[in-house]
Structure 1
């Protein structure tokens, strides 16, 4: 069995490699060459933590495994640790033996950012100039860096529940040579050509009347029953895409619009179909497109398998008898 410790991930996995892995697995899912297992995600009644398992099997890539972990909201304050904690386990699909254990914290941030970046590549207008960020926590910085690589953005506008955290994303914008402005949500929605929402909220912040025609929205924080970042009334105004339809309508952003009868499950499309060319994606400059990034196990497995290969090539992987 191989171990790739968390400390080594930053030297192995690049944003480009994460993008390629996630884009490829989304395409495989739409082609039915890969599938996710049902998600287990529960509040454990201790430290306000959410804990669960995401897994799947990529038949084409022969990648089998799961990610175990979740969200501990008190970690940063109490232990100086990031709030998201996870580990990826890969198994040999021929025998069921464990192949590798991989640190999943940085990989989770990279694969989540890659997913929204994939959606921007395939769904945002080519002339998008203003990027709006809702959320300014640890993962927002990864989201912003990845998004800036997909279009020639000229400005970043941002909003956060805790405004004192906005310098986190202002610094990333400055590194890219772009101006940053804090904005209220109505102005952010009106100005932004692309909006990324990455919060852990259980109530909507971006409302339907905030969003201008032609906007692309990547909603990346809703991955649990009850969570919500967007006004449910926004979804019927948009063409809705997701990583996994079953997750989108049960634990993703679409859960609320479906429950209220505003859209049907059949209105939610896999982004992999756009990547494969079996769905046209955006069809006009006025169309609002929305990507509901619920986070699927296959994303984690794809980036973990890629990082294990790199670790072996560079002699970094630790081999143990298990």
Structure 2
């Protein structure tokens, strides 16, 4: 079995490689060549932690495995390590033997950013120039860096519940040579693309704070009860997702479906747009919304790619198992 430690990931996995892996697996999912297993996510009654498993099988890429981990909210304060902790384990689909174990913390951040980035590539207007960010935590930096590579953006605007954290977004904008402006939520009507990346359980963005033609990537809702946008917004938008079953149960669409504002049949897979089976955006006036719930196959795709790179560069650790 091969081991790729967390410390090696930053030198192996690029945003470009993460994008390619996620785009390819979304296409495989929509084609019926890959599927996710049911998600297990539980409060364990210790350290206020949430722990779970995401897994799946990509028949096209012959990738089988799972990601185990979760959220330990006291880690930073008590141990000086990040609150999200995860590990990806890959298996040989021909024999069932454990094939690789890969540090999953940075990979999770990269694959989440890649997912919204893929949605921007395929759904945002080609002339999008202003990007709006809702949320300014650790993951928001990854989101913004990846998104800025998809269009010729000229400005970044941002809102966060705790304004002092907006410096995270300003730093990324400055790196890219772009101006940054802290705004109120009503100012999000100025954005051509909006990314929401929060841990909110209450709607933050209302339906009337989004202009016609906007693309929205909702990336924070991945658990029952979480919510980032007004459910009525989904009635104004063409809605796409990574996996429909997760979208309607733990994703942003859970609330609109629960209130009978939209139905499961109104939600399309982003992979179908990638494959050409769905037209995606049909006019510059369309509002498009990507409900990024985070699927196990994303983790397996980037982990498999990083294992190949680790072997190629001689940094994978081989152990008898």
Looking at structure 2, the residues matched to 310 and 285 of structure 1 have their Cα atoms a distance apart, in angstroms, of 40
In structure 2, the residue matched to 1:300 is: 299
8 Å Cα contact 1:82/1:138 also seen in 2 = no
In structure 2, the residue matched to 1:174 is: 174
TM-score (norm 2): 0.99
Looking at structure 2, the residues matched to 144 and 185 of structure 1 have their Cα atoms a distance apart, in angstroms, of 18
Residues 13-24 of structure 1: pairs in structure 2 closer than 5 A: 13-24=13-24
1:204 counterpart SS class = strand
Looking at structure 1, the residues matched to 112 and 82 of structure 2 have their Cα atoms a distance apart, in angstroms, of 15
Looking at structure 2, the residues matched to 50 and 174 of structure 1 have their Cα atoms a distance apart, in angstroms, of 35
C-alpha deviations, 1:255-301, integer Å up to 9, x for none?
Answer: 00000000000001000000000000000111100000000000000
In structure 1, the residue matched to 2:308 is: 309
Residues 134-149 of structure 1: pairs in structure 2 closer than 5 A: 134-149=134-149
2:53 counterpart SS class = strand
In structure 1, the residue matched to 2:117 is: 117
C-alpha deviations, 1:229-249, integer Å up to 9, x for none?
Answer: 111111111000000000000
C-alpha deviations, 1:186-215, integer Å up to 9, x for none?
Answer: 11x211100000111111101111111000
In structure 2, the residue matched to 1:80 is: 80
In structure 2, the residue matched to 1:202 is: 201
Cα distance, 1:307 vs structure 2 = 0.2
2:234 counterpart SS class = helix
Looking at structure 1, the residues matched to 158 and 208 of structure 2 have their Cα atoms a distance apart, in angstroms, of 18
Q: What residue ranges of structure 1 are gaps of 5+ in the alignment?
A: none
8 Å Cα contact 1:219/1:253 also seen in 2 = yes
In structure 1, the residue matched to 2:35 is: 35
Q: How many pairs align?
A: 321
Looking at structure 2, the residues matched to 251 and 316 of structure 1 have their Cα atoms a distance apart, in angstroms, of 37
- The 1:161/1:74 distance shift into structure 2, 3 A limit, reads farther
In structure 2, the residue matched to 1:65 is: 65
Looking at structure 2, the residues matched to 83 and 120 of structure 1 have their Cα atoms a distance apart, in angstroms, of 28
Q: CA RMSD in A?
A: 0.7
Residues 149-168 of structure 1: pairs in structure 2 closer than 5 A: 149-168=149-168
Looking at structure 2, the residues matched to 16 and 24 of structure 1 have their Cα atoms a distance apart, in angstroms, of 12
Looking at structure 2, the residues matched to 49 and 202 of structure 1 have their Cα atoms a distance apart, in angstroms, of 17
Cα distance, 1:76 vs structure 2 = 2.1
In structure 2, the residue matched to 1:45 is: 45
Looking at structure 1, the residues matched to 313 and 28 of structure 2 have their Cα atoms a distance apart, in angstroms, of 28
Deviation larger for 105-114 or 70-79: 70-79
1:89 counterpart SS class = strand
8 Å Cα contact 1:239/1:287 also seen in 2 = yes
C-alpha deviations, 1:84-121, integer Å up to 9, x for none?
Answer: 11000000111111000000000000000000000000
- The 1:214/1:279 distance shift into structure 2, 3 A limit, reads same
Looking at structure 1, the residues matched to 255 and 155 of structure 2 have their Cα atoms a distance apart, in angstroms, of 31
2:248 counterpart SS class = helix
Q: Say whether residues 1:318 and 2:317 are aligned partners.
A: yes
Cα distance, 1:219 vs structure 2 = 0.4
Q: What residue ranges of structure 2 are gaps of 5+ in the alignment?
A: none
C-alpha deviations, 1:143-199, integer Å up to 9, x for none?
Answer: 000000000001001111111111011100000000101111111x21110000011
Q: Say whether residues 1:218 and 2:217 are aligned partners.
A: yes
Looking at structure 2, the residues matched to 284 and 49 of structure 1 have their Cα atoms a distance apart, in angstroms, of 44
Looking at structure 1, the residues matched to 285 and 209 of structure 2 have their Cα atoms a distance apart, in angstroms, of 15
In structure 2, the residue matched to 1:228 is: 227
In structure 1, the residue matched to 2:10 is: 10
Cα distance, 1:44 vs structure 2 = 2.0
Looking at structure 1, the residues matched to 75 and 231 of structure 2 have their Cα atoms a distance apart, in angstroms, of 31
Looking at structure 2, the residues matched to 293 and 114 of structure 1 have their Cα atoms a distance apart, in angstroms, of 10
